[in-house]
């Protein structure tokens, strides 16, 4: 691993690292914020952030205002890139497929399968790396935005017992039923809607045995709300099986990081309530 950035922030340190990933077969980058407690050698819980379409590890660490809250709650925060990248890695001209749009699945189709193993990277390889090289405890939470909100929900649901808290901003809750998700899932997993359901939070809720309370914030002025996000589908699925969901529709807010920064403190408090108690 190589540290390529470091910045003092709220008495902690924001860093960016790069490393060769065995999952994706390329160099991957991630941002990591180490709160003051971690710099002092204390093992801290880790909160993983998954970003949305077109993002890198930079968007969250520069725009969300997360460092203040991470320092206050003694949480390490890790923000990986959204996909493999490089000149020899498959890509697409569209912004919603290929590099910058990994959708946090393990691709099975050519040409994507060679590198687009983002679920394995996020759920297995990256946590192992963080817990080996940083003062991280085994207490983990996960959250994200848009495509990353989908990733956070699906990753938590697919790995019961791995995470102790989960939340999302403007998530794609039912990718098998909306254009963004259908396009990506068909490309990465093939034209097999039955397989897509294993990567669809709304479908996974029906068989979930673990009950991690979900906090979701969604702006009602989000330009993608009606076509791509459809939070009402997840709400109905949760109500049907009694899954704990707090869906907060926020008046006047859109899909941007202005929205995320406005409510990020609530999400840190949501995660800290569980992570700090179980660290």
Indicate if 150 belongs to the active site: no
Q: Where are the alpha helices (DSSP H) in 96-206?
A: 118-120, 126-133, 147-158, 179-189, 193-196, 201-204
The burial class, CB within 10 Å (0-12 / 13-18 / 19+), for 202 is buried
Give how many domains the chain has, as a whole number.
Answer: 1
Handedness of CA 28, 33, 39, 41 (dihedral sign): negative
Exposure string for 152-186, b = 16+ CB within 10 A, e = fewer: bbbbbbbeeeebbbbbbbbbbbbbbbbebbebbbb
Residue 249: its H or E element: strand 245-250
Per the CB < 8 A criterion, the answer to whether 44 and 136 are in contact is: yes
What is the C-alpha separation between 149 and 156, in angstroms, rounded?
11
Q: Which of 271, 214, 263 is nearest to 237 (CA)?
A: 214
Kindly name the residue from 255, 267, 270, 271 that is annotated as catalytic. Answer: 255
Residues whose CB falls within 8 Å of the CB of residue 169, separated by 6 or more in sequence, listed in order: 143, 144, 145, 146, 149, 216, 217, 218, 259, 260, 263, 267
Q: Which of 279, 153, 278 is nearest to 215 (CA)?
A: 153
pLDDT tens over the chain, length 279 residues: 999 999 999 999 999 999 999 999 999 999 999 999 999 999 999 999 999 999 999 999 999 999 999 999 999 999 999 999 999 999 999 999 999 999 999 999 999 999 999 999 999 999 999 999 999 999 999 999 999 999 999 999 999 999 999 999 999 999 999 999 999 999 999 999 999 999 999 999 999 989 999 999 999 999 999 999 999 999 999 999 999 999 999 999 999 999 999 999 999 999 999 998 655
Output the pLDDT for position 247: 98
User: What is the rounded radius of gyration, in angstroms, for the C-alpha atoms of the chain?
Assistant: 17
Total Cβ atoms within 10 A of residue 189? 21
Output the pLDDT for position 162: 96
Indicate if 267 belongs to the active site: no
Q: Which domain holds residue 144?
A: 2-278
Does the predicted model carry a pTM greater than 0.95? yes
Output the pLDDT for position 276: 85
CATH of the domain at 221: 3.40.50.1820
Kindly name the residue from 9, 23, 83, 146 that is annotated as catalytic. Answer: 146
Indicate if 222 belongs to the active site: yes
What is the C-alpha separation between 87 and 150, in angstroms, rounded?
27
Kindly name the residue from 222, 228, 270, 271 that is annotated as catalytic. Answer: 222
């Amino acid at each position: 691993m190589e540290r390529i950035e470091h910045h003092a922030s709220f008495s902690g340190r924001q860093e960016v690292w790069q490393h060769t990933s065995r999952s994706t077969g390329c160099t991957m980058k991630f941002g990591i914020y180490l709160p003051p407690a971690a710099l002092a050698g204390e093992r801290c819980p880790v909160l993983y952030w998954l970003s949305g379409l077109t993002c890198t590890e930079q968007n969250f660490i520069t725009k969300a205002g997360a460092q203040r809250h991470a320092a206050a709650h003694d949480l390490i925060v890790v923000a990986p890139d959204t996909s493999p990248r490089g000149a020899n890695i498959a890509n697409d001209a569209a912004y919603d497929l290929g590099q910058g749009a990994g959708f946090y699945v393990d691709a099975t189709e050519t040409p994507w399968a060679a590198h687009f193993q983002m679920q394995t990277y996020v759920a297995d390889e990256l946590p192992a790396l963080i817990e080996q090289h940083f003062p991280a405890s085994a207490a983990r939470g996960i959250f994200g935005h848009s495509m990353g909100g989908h990733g956070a929900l699906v990753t938590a649901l697919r790995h019961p017992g791995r995470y102790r808290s989960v939340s999302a901003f403007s998530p794609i809750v039912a990718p098998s039923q909306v254009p963004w998700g259908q396009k990506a899932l068909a490309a990465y997993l093939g034209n097999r809607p039955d397989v897509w359901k294993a990567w669809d939070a709304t479908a996974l809720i029906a068989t979930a045995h673990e009950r991690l309370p979900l906090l979701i914030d969604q702006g009602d002025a989000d330009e993608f709300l009606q076509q791509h996000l459809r939070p009402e589908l997840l709400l109905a699925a949760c109500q049907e099986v009694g899954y704990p969901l707090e869906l907060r529709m926020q008046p006047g807010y859109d899909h941007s990081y202005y929205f995320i920064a406005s409510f990020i403190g609530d999400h840190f408090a949501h995660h800290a309530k569980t992570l700090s108690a179980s660290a």
